Structure 1
Amino acid sequence: MRVMGVDPGLTRCGISLVDGGSGRTVTALDVDVVRTPPDLPLAERLLRISDAAEYWMDTHRPEVVAIERVFSQHNVRTAMGTAQAGGVVALAAARRGIEVCFHTPSEVKAAVTGSGTAGKAQVTAMVTRILGLQQAPKPADAADALALAICHCWRAPMLARMARAEAAAAEQKRRYESRLAELNKTRLKKAGTR
């Protein structure tokens, strides 16, 4: 599975590409950080992020784009910018028919380090180790983008199994309710003929 991981941000937006193999085998293919100057108008900054994401999608052809979900931040302005950056990437993927999945920071940290409260240094160290890199990816946005892609590779099979189980349970419930409705109709007909 080829996954493009995106750590969205207006000033620095981490983008990575990882190939997931069998089991927990993952291979880093590329990583970069898109930077936009704070003095540019918001629309121009978002356009630069979108252009970079589109280039990556057209060049690398990922099957899935994994984006960090903005969960909560104390700085509302930062949270809005992060959400907007993630939104333009999700839109670019949707236009290309590429699946988009969102993962919270704690899901990513837990998948990569085993702790949902791990710090950036721990995430970077584990990403470096998992991918067998000679040196740690810098800045932290690059490591976070790789962590997102790794997280998706490892969580996707479980998420797919859960979705299939939920669909099967919903279908079983529908069949049960349909049989129950038929039984009630039959009972009402029998009661009406007496």
Structure 2
Amino acid sequence: MQSPLIQELIEAFRVLPGVGPKSAQRMAYHLLERNKSGGLLLSQALSKAVEEVGHCSLCRTLTEEETCSICQSARRATGELCIVESPADVGVIEQSGIFQGQYFVLMGHLSPIDGIGPKQIGLDLLESRLSDGSVSELIIATNPTVEGEATAHYIQQMAIKQGVVVSRLAQGIPMGGELEYLDSGTLSQAFLARRSM
């Protein structure tokens, strides 16, 4: 018979994506048996983050400030706005160092089946930002899924109505990739997105 507190801890770990019952049990026992100080540190950091982290008032990414550091930076190109699905996407793009504009984080994608429409992902906020004339180019970086493509199309139509130039991140063969290992969808996209040399 397992302790109710241990069972509660195991169930708490299961809220994380990809963590099943066995993984949750291993994590719980590891912290309790071998790393109680790490467990305390984890609980304090988690509690503080949950209480203090919210959304940036401009781009909607996660931050403990009213406006995130990217939106506050005077070095960023305010006319270029990159649309991403999640704060993790912002992190990946920022690590590359290639983009020097600003972001708008959807916190998801359109999914009518799940009851997620334009308002749920902040497209009303994006539309008002586009209508103020400060954005000259919209770079759509949604995921290449059915939902991501539908979201990209919807945003593209919004931007065109506002007279904003729209571009989409290229998709297809990754750098260093070999044709024989590509799936047909990736190869099809590479052919459709080909450019002159």
What's the TM-score once normalised by structure 1's chain length?
A: 0.35
Higher relative contact order (CA 8 A, sep 6+): 1
Which structure would you say has the larger Rg? Answer: 1
What's the TM-score once normalised by structure 2's chain length?
A: 0.34
Name the structure with the higher strand share. Answer: 1
